Structure 1
């Protein structure tokens, strides 16, 4: 709080503190006073105003001991919804959540890198409509949208996309603003959003981690001091222009092995190779080791620079963590002075879309803080789009 904060600014700070306490589980006046350290009279006054403006609601009192039952308060997480999107070359995922980021439903569409940008945007719109229909909400209920995209992004645009030929230059934020004019909009890189999800939703909430996105394409997400790290120009972790690392082509070892499990082949050559390796096929294991060696060359360099607490194997291959993590550990032991803790993501292929929902919740919370000294907006007043 600056020395120049006026009474209106103090009021806003108190409102946000009380909202945070209620969202964290403090549901009576006494508990809110204890959690915030504010005077009971102040908490009572602000809480009544928050109920009147629609941010809190009064729940049925519960008898706890002797005396008059205490009034309970609830955060109106269902007053609006948030949208998170993950736009990749082969998959497009959209999820909808309440205002706390709790996922309600999700839609997944399969695509290819050759899908034209205009058609990909239509698929995005259709997936958003699927989620709204499933939850019985409409576009006017959407408070915040965060879309994650493969490639380099900035100022709401896709600045460069190697994975999707027709995606570079797309004004993704502009498209969303035209269809959702009352919502807050933000665009980010998919791996960075995935790292946010790992930090917020993964085990232990480590202060520093490296997320190794392993799937059809490989990416890196970095978390430093508890926050995703983008770097000065927003390209931290993008190693696509370092062919000597053999990072981009590593998946070919799995795709072209030609090894199928004895339990039966699938239409996915990567899954066939991994399943055959689990069954003990020497050819499949050799292909998996070559793949892991290529990942370790890059991951080891990043780990040595950042010295993170945790290295998380994410993406669709996280489901094969029991096979891949010991092999990755063996390679990294040869490269790193200190080994981070290795974990397979429990969020899997949904990691980026869940990170988008986390970011959307932060986006709305940040808008509520605002720069002015006035009170929180009422639910009847739409948020201003950015």
Structure 2
């Protein structure tokens, strides 16, 4: 008669699954007591306490000092060590390279920016990105676990830029390979896609169907449907940059034309928005012309997917007070049904924040979800961020 007892391999795998379940529960709860973990996980108290002790020993969790209230033994609570590791999200564009560093819970700790131009050579642009990553890491004294990279242009599944209209020598750049030389884990995607991801995760949009209009010195569109970012078969979902009828690149000239000649090109649009805000008639008219061009692309996407929400994001979302009204008027003229219109609060950091979210997803997928074997013991250097 065969034995019904699980063998050592099954027991080991069960312990690994239990510790990942407990770790995920503590991480999502913030700070949680043992009794709550038992209730949420469905495991016995003895099993939970064994897992908690192991995760504390290996520095994944911290046991917090309990508050003493009345008689009896105070309840123990645990929190996830979000400071155990960090990720950097990069936004590599035609005019700037931005970076944000977050902990493993996604809290932004540092942001950095370097200016570039569309004519900046590829190696210099990559060097600027390296310096942004290094500056973020130095500021936080951080152990980087992953780097997420957002970039203008079409990006394939392997992390190579396939097409980039905004940067002459950018097509063919293998960003995954380049950053993989120094980072343990690298993920890459298009900037507008990542801006939409950040809006979904950090802007409180959740599972809402959304068209994201990424407005700045470069323009893009992205879609979130059924609570998921839709990249399409080749990463080009909602990419209308090649359609001649969508003249959104030329539309920027309407804004530039009303800014004084001595204003640097990278600041002209912001100056035009400021003039429109002050009531300058020429600037108000320029903003309307710009909004009209943006509305053509947005209306096309709205007509196809019928979303509940259109979000104006990117650097120009900070001018929503003068841009949203003419945009709404044009959409009302073009669309049989106009969705709710909202402006993002993430501003120019939206792509970098989306890249950080993608990097955190990769950490979860590769380390916490798929990997077999026990979780490793983490470094003690960042055991308490207040001790740095």
TM-score after normalising by structure 2: 0.89
Question: Partner of 1:105 in structure 2?
Answer: 110
State the partner residue of 1:146. 148
> Hey, what does 1:16 align to over in structure 2?
20
**Residue number in structure 1 paired with 2:166:** 163
Please give the secondary structure, in 2, of the residue aligned with 1:176. Answer: helix
Residue 191 of structure 1 aligns to a residue in which SS?
A: helix
1:298-330 Cα shifts (integer Å, max 9, x gaps): 101101111112111111111111111111111
> 1:134 and 1:178 mapped to 2: Cα distance?
22
Q: What is the rounded CA distance, in whole Å, between the counterparts of 1:228 and 1:101 in structure 2?
A: 18
Ranges in structure 2 where 5+ consecutive residues have no aligned partner: 1-8, 380-388
The reply to whether residue 60 of structure 1 matches residue 72 of structure 2 is no
Which residue in the other structure is 1:383 paired with?
none
**Does structure 1 residue 51 correspond to structure 2 residue 56?**
yes
Match of 2:4 in 1: none
Paired residues of 1:191 and 1:220 also in contact (CA < 8 A): yes
> Residue by residue, what CA displacement relative to the aligned partner does 1:78-120 show, whole Å, maximum 9, x if unpaired?
1111111000000100111111121111110010000000111
* Preserved contact between residue 31 and residue 80 of structure 2 (Cα < 8 Å): no
Q: Does 1:29 align with 2:29?
A: no
Aligned pair in 2 of structure 1 residues 64, 14: CA closer, same or farther (>3 Å)? farther
For 1:147 and 1:301, how far apart are their aligned partners in 2?
A: 28
Task: Give the match for residue 133 of structure 2.
Answer: 128
Q: What stretches of structure 1 of length at least 5 have no aligned partner? A: 381-386
Alpha-carbon contact 2:213-2:312 (below 8 Å) kept: yes
Aligned to 1:277: 276
Asked whether the 8 Å contact 1:153–1:188 carries over to 2, the reply is: yes
Check the 8 A contact 1:96/1:106 in 2, yes or no: yes
Contact 2:153 2:165 in 1 (8 A): yes
2:221 corresponds to? 220
User: Are residues 184 and 258 of structure 1, via their aligned partners in 2, closer, same or farther at CA, if it must alter by over 3 Å?
Assistant: closer
1:178 matched to which residue of 2?
A: 181
Tell me the residue number matched to 2:321: 322
CA RMSD of aligned residues (A): 2.1
Matched residue, 1:300: 299
Equivalent position to 1:77, from 82, 85, 96: 82
Shift of 1:203: 3.0
Question: Residues of 2 paired with 1:94 and 1:87: CA distance?
Answer: 9
SS at 2:245's partner residue? helix
CA distance in 1, matches of 2:214, 2:52: 44
Match of residue 364 from structure 1: 363
Return the alpha-carbon distance in structure 1 between the equivalents of residues 294 and 120 of structure 2.
28
Listed one character per residue, the Cα deviations across residues 178-221 of structure 1 (whole Å, up to 9, x for unaligned) are 123xx111111111111111001103424211111111110112
TM-score by length of 1: 0.90
Contact 1:101–1:360 (CA under 8 A) maintained in structure 2: no
Question: What's the offset of the Cα at 1:53?
Answer: 2.1
Q: Compared with structure 1, are the counterparts of its residues 327 and 13 closer, same or farther at alpha carbon in structure 2 (3 Å cutoff)? A: farther
Identify the residue that residue 287 of structure 1 maps to in structure 2.
Answer: 286
SS of 2:38's equivalent? helix
Separation of aligned partners in 2, 1:204 and 1:232? 24
Query: For residues 371 and 10 of structure 2, what CA distance do their matches in structure 1 show?
Result: 10
Q: 1:32 to 1:131 in 2, by over 3 A?
A: same
Name the CA shift for 1:226/1:103 in 2 (closer, same or farther; >3 Å).
Answer: same
